[in-house]
Structure 1
């Protein structure tokens, strides 16, 4: 499971997020999605930690916390939804 981190500053980097989340445990990965067309960060990230207890500690400590001038939204990431729209292609 991973953590969703929303309302991020566009100046935040992977290293910034690693340093914040390592206070609560071992960070396995950080993913900062970027816009396909502009290459600019999209304002959210996904952080994966090594255990559920570390994720819970980070969520409880950081949800609503002010960081880099923004109030963070931190919670368990939801599984990615199928974006096919339910239509089948007919070739």
Structure 2
């Protein structure tokens, strides 16, 4: 299951996230999303846990938990929706 983790501190590392989720089961991938312009964290990450039961327990227990003095948001990642290529004019 893919997991979204939001409201991250700019100081949070992928190693910290992996360590936080590991007690619940195997963490296959951890990726903090970085702003390509500034090179800084965008404040969210995605993790992959292969066992859905373990992932659901991690989501339940860690949503609202404190990490680097921030209450993190944890939920199942939703698929990215298609964006409009050419937004309609408002005029």
User: TM (normalized to structure 2)?
Assistant: 0.89
User: Which residue is equivalent to 1:14?
Assistant: 14
Report SS of the residue matched to 1:32.
Answer: strand
How far 1:74 sits from its partner (Å)?
Answer: 0.3
Structure 2 unaligned regions, length at least 5: 87-91
Report SS of the residue matched to 2:74.
Answer: strand
Structure 1 unaligned regions, length at least 5: none
Higher strand share: 2
**Alpha-carbon distance in structure 2 between the residues aligned to 1:18 and 1:3:** 12
RMSD (Å), alpha carbons: 1.0
**Alpha-carbon distance in structure 1 between the residues aligned to 2:32 and 2:85:** 28
User: Which residue is equivalent to 2:70?
Assistant: 70
1:48-87 matches, within 5 Å, as 48-83=48-83, 85=84, 87=86
How far 1:65 sits from its partner (Å)?
Answer: 1.0
Report SS of the residue matched to 2:60.
Answer: helix
Q: How many residues align?
A: 86
